Structure 1
Amino acid sequence: MIGIVIFILSLKPSYSGEKELDTIKKEVSVYYDSYGIPHIYGASEEDAFRTLGYVHAQDRLWQMELLRRIGPGRLSEVFGKDMITTDKFLISLGIDEASEKTVAHLDMNDESIRLTNAYLEGVNAFIKDGPTPVEFYLTGIDKTPFVLKDVYNTIGYMAFSFAMAHKTDPLLTSIKEKLGPQYLKDLEIEVDPSLTLISNYPKGKQALKNTVSEIALQALEKLPVPMFEGSNSWVLSPEKTKNGHVIFANDPHIGFSQPSVWFEAHVSTPTYEKYGYHLAGVPFPLLGHDRNLAYGLTMFENDDIDFYYEEVHPSDKRKYKYKEEWKSFESITKTIKVKDADAIQFTYEKSIHGPILNGIADQIVGDKPVAMSWTYTKTDNKTLKAYNGIVHANGLRDFKKSLADINAPGLNIMYGDAKGNVAWFATAKLYLMPDSVNTKFILDGSTGLQEPLRYLEFKENPQAINPPWNYVYSANNQPDSILGKIYPGYYLPENRAKRITQLIDAKNDWSKDDVAKMITDVTSSVDPAIVNNLIEELNSKELSKKQLEVIEKLKHWKGDATLESVESTIYHRWVYFFIKNTFGDELSEAQFTSFLGTHFFKRTIAPMAEIKESVWWDDITTAEMETKSVIVNRSFQQAYAALEQSLGVDIQEWTWNKVHTIEHPHPIGQVEALRKYFNVGPYEINGTREVINNLSFAYTEDGLYKVSSGPSTRRIIDFSDVENSISILPTGQSGNMLSNHYQDQAKMYVNGEFRKMMMNKEAIKSSAESVLLFKPLED
């Protein structure tokens, strides 16, 4: 027993002592603060990045391992046959082939590649000499060195994680083909330009200096890592702040997991300093700041995936039609290794547009092959070069210049600096389609008439630099027009954007504390209007006294989703039944589930609650012709009965904390006996869908709202006091369950608290919890 304890303790990360690395040239000091964040001080950038790789790996190697396996479809090796369909889908995306092609053409002397290789040397040094994380023992897989292609495969996973077309386009096409175009009229396929849009201001002012969707859903929901979902960010100009300096706020919304997505690290050398947030296996921080500037991101939600029906030759199934010519499908065969089972051969086909998705699962049948065209695999991947430029930028001009190299995923890059500049840039390889083409449906691949006309130059992308309204923001909502057109995408509803702009516009003396309060705001500017529109349809004569009390409470509701809110619980239950009774009869169970996972579903709730007439109101399973009033009344009665059954007859007990909880799942935590050791939570938590503190969940029949995604960090940088900028992680810095920093921020996060992002070297040294020294290997 003593031996087992000693062995387990040997697997903990080392936060103190000395280590020799044969690749570093001069000693590097790592000071760990009280939350386990490393502050790395080196004489050169290469040595600092090697050290970053080592300390990142010792806290997050298991996470790195999973992320690098997604692109090439190698999850079945770890988790067995249940992941085969997921691996098939991931393989067909072509991420691994794109990464291989990119690496083959890299300039190894480029600074971005030299620093990436230095980082990988550090990762591999830990793999060689460091303790093996317990997950490797539990799954039986071996540690193997990381290579450049692994970094690009991780970036590829991130790029696809942002996409929404695979959930949306085939579903809309199925509705159009099976139900008819009249059923599309009331769906929020396009965004109403009268809603809250992100305004462009590119010049700046003078600065102060079909089944496919179902299969995609089924495949991706099994991923043992989080998907990227949405995000908020706003940057306030000096004119909007109390202290006359820029205040920067950002909280990317990502699926919750354990470990959480970001690894924090502060790296400082004579030529470089950045306090950054790193994706596992990627050397450059995707979020970061220093004393001169800060940057962050939200998801652009632009349309960078198109689907095409391919026309197959009537007598030769190996050929398809393109521009009046018959071309041969490319056939690709891959081997999928499966844990505790024989390897399987997997063959799929590709057209000029991309992989044929019909081959990824037995459930996809039919005579029409569907090909997927994805910008990420069709354009040069310069992401590492772009982020190397971003982290080394000295000001707005350098920063903007680097953004042109980000092709996919589409990102809103947010910027603020100590000179008073604020900016927002939509970064993506956008393209124009013929006016008659709607990319929200599966296109005709045979004619060549539904292809992109041209890619836009970066300067044509939506952006705003020092606008006269004195702030920039993004909440994944629709940007204003580009070249006179609203660019197609899968944007989220205006709810968060409306609340953000209402709050910012209301005052000009913002402080860091004000912004901290705002970033945890749980009030919706839209939900009360939805409730009131539904209430208008109720027949009060059919309501009991207690039900009338419920309605009276809802009439006075301000849209807040606090732990004590009864109204929030009633609202979501009512909306669920309203949506189910509206759409559930026309859609199959699988299609309805797919529908609930789309962004346009979220945009549909408010307008459906407002309009009076719709083809969707009629329940096609009955002989009667239902109206909106019938659907609304039926839905309320079902919601009320369900709440009484699950929470009791006392309305005051229907509080939000009883149904809205958060738990951070670890892949090993799926085993019930290990859940309490690896998962973090559950906790009761405030917030809800599409408020600023956006804690999202799936609508399900049981009325329990298990939060699946939300702020992956909350960061606030005040350039009047950079040393006291604040942040939080959802669980903790370490992914090693034996570390004291595995979940030491979890309760703070739930409570809306923050901690300091330390940058002052003397303060860091004097308060360091431990020091780890890396020295060159002695001859």
Structure 2
Amino acid sequence: MLKKIGYFVIALLLLLGVVSYVYIQNNKPDYKGTVSMNTLDKAVSIYFDDYGIPHIFADNEADAYRALGYVHAQDRLWQMELIRRVAAGRLAEIFGSELVKTDKLFRGLGIDAAADRTIQGLDTNSPHFLLAKAYLDGINHFIDEGKTPIEFKLLGIDKEHYSLKDIYNVYGYMSFSFAQAHKTDPFLTDLKDFLGNQYLLDLDIDISPRTTLIRNSRGMKRMAGNIGTEVSKLMEGLPVPPFIGSNSWVVGPQRTENNKVIFANDPHIGFSQPSVWYQAHLITPEHEMYGFNLALSPFPLLGHNYDYAYGLTMLENDDIDFYAETDDQKYAIRQEIIKVKNEEDIQFEVKTGIHGPLMNDLIETIDGADKIAMDWIYTKFDNEMLQASYAISHSGSLQEFKDGVSKIVAPGLNIMYGDARGNIAWFAAAKLYERAEGVHSKFILDGANGVDDQVSYIDFEDNPHAINPSWHYVYSANNQPEEVNGKLYPGYYLPQDRAKRIVNLIESSDKLSANDVASMIIDVESSVTPELVKIILNNVSTVNLNKNEKEALKILKDWKGDYISDLSAPTIYFKFVYLFFKNTFEDEMGDELFEQFLETHLYKRQIAKQIKLNKSVWWDDVNTKEIKELKDEIITRSFHQTITALESQFGNDPDDWKWSDALSVSHKHAFDKNGMLRGFFNVGPFSTNGGIEVINNQLFKLNPTGNYNVKAGPSTRRIIDFSDVENARAILPTGQSGNVFSKHYKDQADRYLKGEFVKMMMNKDEIKASEDVLVLLPMNDSIE
């Protein structure tokens, strides 16, 4: 009997194995074979390389873009579905009521209406329109004829065709996810109301006596409610990643080993699975481009060919302002309906005035606070991102490229350029503006005085830029651009740390090679931390130190500021920074504002500034009324608390306080919250090198636990050496495909963590040696 049961179990397991194998084979992407497509003019051959990257050979551009749409959908249809639903406010349809708040916010922002307005004005005979439609044809053909991703089946949702509006909604989401104003402006307004100007001076916030703010006379009621906190929570809960920061540098031929331009770029974006970029190489008789596309973006925002390369970082300019409105403000009112999975529809009103939508209607937690409207550059002007992305990916000269860049209004971007002729350039691409003297846009402005909303827009020629500068390199690390015409343009810029390190590494070498740049792009040494550690050590009282405290001081003293996984110093340092900030700011700010502070770029700028300050109103702990603390007392207290916390977390040996045990990274799928599916779809967790504001930027939130989960980092690393374009290199954090059954779902993850690269293949003969070839045929055609 037992033997029969054993045979039955074995047979059952074999059957399950066979069924699983057949299911996987039937649901993974097709990298070989033929597909008929009714919109094609001629056959298209797609060669997939060893990492699943399609190299598309077509006789004309329209067919190339139809093929791109098809393979992009084959690998990333689920990602496309998510990102189009975000800006349109349609997540609750598939995920249920917990996404209603998110839908409500995005419905109210006006992205959808801005897309409608833009599409109505498009030239339907223009190449960008025709190729975008061809790309959509390819996507929609896959929807009609291709395999349904498993995510659709698990959620029980139907596939729907895509349209131009979906493309524009992606641009809208990208633009909003860049924004820092919603985290910063309400926070600074409340801080000023509660504490006064004196406390803001040490935060590097310029306070002008002309700044018009409605003074709070109602105790501790927050003027803006919880805009920053609530929007941060909603963005954190999104199933698609936000855009964060980035590095890029382009080195002129005068500074390179082979006397040709070397281009480097690593945009910092929230980690997710799949990762944000989709690689594709298009080759036609008229055009060639190896590009990195966003989901539903036909034209790559990062790209190169034999002639030129381009990429981006986030400019971090200020393109969102908040206004306090009066009760007599008039609004246009529209009704919105949110469909909710397994529940009744939700109806609500959106009120839009001269300064944009009323946020009180969109964020429940500020209902009843002052009326706050959001004024956003993105929805005020025609969106030409489709034209811009087409132009920069089809440029025949630096001037044509610049003309394309000039079309970008929002989001604000640093666009980087280098070419085979030796040209290098950086452009601040955004609709920049100037306000009336004394009006400070990092606070909530007065919507009624007629002064705070006066702006004059800057001509693109006056935007910060550098073209073939005398120092022979350009760079961007989200830091403040220098003055133009005697003015600094306001923004939410990041500190100098990464920019300083990039400049130091470039200038420390007479001639850089591509390998030197490859080492730079994974560099984890801080340009400022060693100096800050010296100040900390000089201010820690050495009286009554215990053994572990003495050992920790020695570890910090010997540390050169490199965030390497097997070191203890980074663990000590970041724990100290959190407690140092907590002891410095939380007593005045309170718990909620302190947590909001840690969500802004302000805190990153403040680390070096506050440690260097000898006099600061923030040093005194208001909870100890009989004592007035000084800098050394706050530092000493924070250091003692750091060691006690690390002993509790990691044990009594400081050598065991490894950074690898404190810092981890996971690439989370939209199903991460489902415990049964998490392990199947997520990639990771992994330990990693890097940390906040080093070139290998691994972004996490400081917190009391001492466990740091990396939220964002390099979304790709790219290096193009124009002396050897066919060996240009790149890497993705996980893999090319978003299909969990694909062999390319996570086949780059290991190499990414090790700082390795994958060749971006350009040699036609090498590409055509691949055995993975998918041929797309016009209907009724056949291969001879």
2:124 corresponds to which residue? 108
- Cα drift, residue 349 of structure 1: 1.3
Q: CA deviation at 1:675?
A: 1.2
Residue equivalent to 2:289? 274
Superposed, 1:449-460 pairs within 5 Å as 449-460=451-462
1:190 Cα offset (Å): 5.9
> Which residue identity lines up with residue 757 of structure 1 in the other structure?
M
Secondary structure of the residue aligned to 2:245 is: strand
The structural deviation recorded for 1:586 is: 2.1
Q: Matches of 1:735 and 1:367 in 2, distance apart?
A: 43
Deviation at 1:105, TM superposition (A): 1.7
- Return the alpha-carbon distance in structure 2 between the equivalents of residues 103 and 190 of structure 1: 40
1:566 maps to what in 2?
A: 568
Compute the displacement of 1:142 (Å): 1.0
Query: In structure 1, which of residues 757, 761, 772 is the aligned counterpart of residue 760 of structure 2?
Result: 757
- Given that 2:322 and 2:444 are in contact with CA atoms closer than 8 Å, whether structure 1 keeps it comes out as yes
Give the counterpart of 1:424 among 423, 426, 429. Answer: 426
Equivalent position amino acid for 1:372 in 2: M
Distance of 2:589 and 2:367 partners within structure 1: 18
Residue by residue over 1:263-321, the C-alpha shift from the partner in whole angstroms, topping out at 9 and shown as x without a partner, is 00000100110000000011000000000000000000000111111111xxxxxx32x
Tell me the residue number matched to 2:469.
467
2:83 pairs with one of 60, 67, 71: 67
Instruction: Show structure 1 runs of 5+ residues with no match.
Output: 192-209, 313-318, 321-327
The answer for the alignment partner of 1:310 in structure 2 is 325
Q: For this pair of structures, how many residues does the alignment match?
A: 747
Work out which of the residue numbers 175, 184, 191 in structure 2 matches 1:175.
191
Preserved CA contact (<8 Å) 1:34 1:769: no
Which residue in 1 is equivalent to 2:527? Answer: 525
Cα distance in 1 for partners of 2:704, 2:675 equals 23
Distance 2:206 2:549 in 1: 37
How much does 1:8 deviate? 4.1
Choose the corresponding residue for 1:482, options 478, 484, 498: 484
Indicate the SS of the match to 2:730: strand
Q: CA offsets per residue over residues 606-658 of structure 1, 9 Å max, x none?
A: 01001112221222233232222222111111110111111110111111111
- The answer for the alignment partner of 1:198 in structure 2 is none
Residue among 278, 290, 294 paired with 2:305: 290
Corresponding residue to 2:69 among 40, 53, 62: 53
2:159 paired residue number: 143
* Partner secondary structure for residue 768 of structure 2: helix
Q: Which moved more, 1:741-750 or 1:358-367?
A: 358-367
1:37-89 CA deviation, whole Å, 9 max, x = no partner? 00000000000000000000000000000111111111111211111111111
What is the CA distance between 1:109 and its match in structure 2? Answer: 1.0
- Partner residue, 2:316: 301
Q: Is contact 1:277-1:286 (8 Å) kept?
A: yes
CA distance in 2, matches of 1:448, 1:565: 56
Contact 2:79 / 2:738 at 8 angstroms: preserved in 1? Answer: yes
Q: 1:756 to 1:353 in 2, by over 3 A?
A: same
Q: Distance in 2 between matches of 1:566 and 1:68?
A: 43
Does the 8 Å CA contact 1:669/1:677 hold for their aligned counterparts?
Answer: no
Residue 359 of structure 1 and its aligned partner are, at CA, apart by 1.6
Query: What CA distance in whole angstroms lies between the structure 1 residues aligned with 2:633 and 2:726?
Result: 59
Q: Which residue in the other structure is 2:277 paired with?
A: 262
Q: Does 1:694 align with 2:684?
A: no
Q: CA deviation at 1:705?
A: 1.2
Deviation at 1:144, TM superposition (A): 0.2
Q: Which one-letter code corresponds to 2:70 in the other structure?
A: Y
SS at match of 1:424: strand
Check if 1:709 corresponds to 2:712: yes
Residues 381 and 409 in structure 2, CA contact (< 8 A), matched pair in contact too: yes
Amino acid corresponding to residue 271 of structure 1 in structure 2: E
Alignment of 1:148-163 (within 5 A): 148-163=164-179
CA contact (8 A) 1:162 1:409 kept: yes
Which moved further from structure 2: 522-531 or 621-630?
A: 621-630
Does structure 1 retain, via aligned residues, the 8 Å contact 2:548–2:643?
no
Moved over 4 A (4+): 1-5
1:556 positional shift: 2.4
Partner AA of 1:544 in structure 2: N
CA, structure 1 residues 535+32, in 2 after alignment: closer, same or farther (shift >3 Å)?
Answer: same
Q: What is the aligned partner in structure 2 of residue 241 from structure 1?
A: 256
Q: Which residue of 1 aligns with 2:445?
A: 443
Q: CA deviation at 1:567?
A: 0.8
**Stretch deviating more after TM superposition (694-703 or 537-546):** 537-546
Question: AA paired with 1:496?
Answer: R
Structure 2 partner of 1:383: 385
Cα separation, partners in 2 of 1:99 and 1:509, compared to 1, 3 Å: same
User: Match of 2:212?
Assistant: none
DSSP-derived class of the 2:588 partner: coil
**2:369 is the alignment partner of 1:354:** no
User: Is the CA contact (8 Å cut-off) linking 2:118 and 2:382 kept in structure 1?
Assistant: yes
Counterpart residue number, 1:338:
340
Q: C-alpha root-mean-square deviation of aligned residues, in Å?
A: 1.3
Query: Would the aligned equivalents of 2:64 and 2:282 in 1 still touch at CA under 8 Å?
Result: yes
In structure 2, how many angstroms separate the alpha carbons of the residues matched to 1:335 and 1:348? Answer: 11
Name the amino acid aligned to 1:491: Y
Asked if structure 1 preserves the Cα contact closer than 8 Å seen for 2:360 and 2:369, the reply is: no
Distance 2:432 2:332 in 1: 27
Q: 1:651 to 1:4 in 2, by over 3 A?
A: closer
Give 1:224's match in structure 2, choosing from 226, 236, 239.
239
Tell me how far apart the structure 1 counterparts of residues 190 and 338 of structure 2 sit (CA, whole Å).
31
The worse-fitting range, judged by mean Cα deviation, of 388-397 and 533-542 is 533-542
Is the 2:665–2:687 Cα contact (8 Å) retained in structure 1?
Answer: yes
The corresponding residue for 1:93 is 109
- 1:410 corresponds to which residue? 412
| Match in the other structure for 1:650 | 653
Counterpart-to-counterpart distance in 1, 2:82 and 2:197: 42
Distance 2:724 2:124 in 1: 39
Q: In 2, are the aligned partners of 1:190 and 1:488 still within 8 Å (CA)? A: no
Matches within 5 A, 1:470-619: 470-619=472-621
User: What's the CA shift string for 1:197-248, capped at 9, x where partnerless?
Assistant: xxxxxxxxxxxxx321112112211111110000000000001000000000
In the alignment, structure 2 segments of 5+ residues that lack a partner are 1-15, 208-223
Show the counterpart of 1:121. 137
Q: C-alpha displacement at 1:583, in angstroms?
A: 1.3
Which segment drifts farther, 351-360 or 727-736? Answer: 351-360
Give distance in 2, aligned partners of 1:452 and 1:140: 50
Q: What SS does the aligned partner of 1:535 have?
A: helix
Can you list the C-alpha shifts for 1:373-414, whole angstroms capped at 9, x where unaligned? 000000111111111111110121111111111100000000
Q: Is this contact kept in 2: 1:171–1:591, CA < 8 A?
A: yes
Report the secondary structure of 2:665's partner residue: strand
Match of 1:166 in 2: 182
- Are the equivalent residues in 2 in contact too, given 1:44–1:270 (CA < 8 A)? yes
Q: Measure, in 1, the Cα distance between the counterparts of 2:392 and 2:138.
A: 22
Question: Following TM superposition, by how much is the alpha carbon of 1:188 offset from its aligned partner in structure 2, in angstroms?
Answer: 3.0
Answer yes or no: is the 8 Å Cα contact 1:357–1:370 preserved in 2: yes
CA distance in 1, matches of 2:293, 2:404: 18
CA distance in 2, matches of 1:728, 1:452: 45
Residue pair 2:548, 2:652 contacting (<8 A) in 1 also:
no
**Match for residue 775 of structure 1?**
777
**d(CA) in 2 for partners of 1:529 and 1:22?**
64
Q: Distance in 2 between matches of 1:367 and 1:31?
A: 58
Residue number in structure 2 paired with 1:202: none
In the TM superposition, residue 6 of structure 1 has moved relative to its aligned partner by 2.8
8 Å Cα contact 1:475/1:496 also seen in 2:
yes
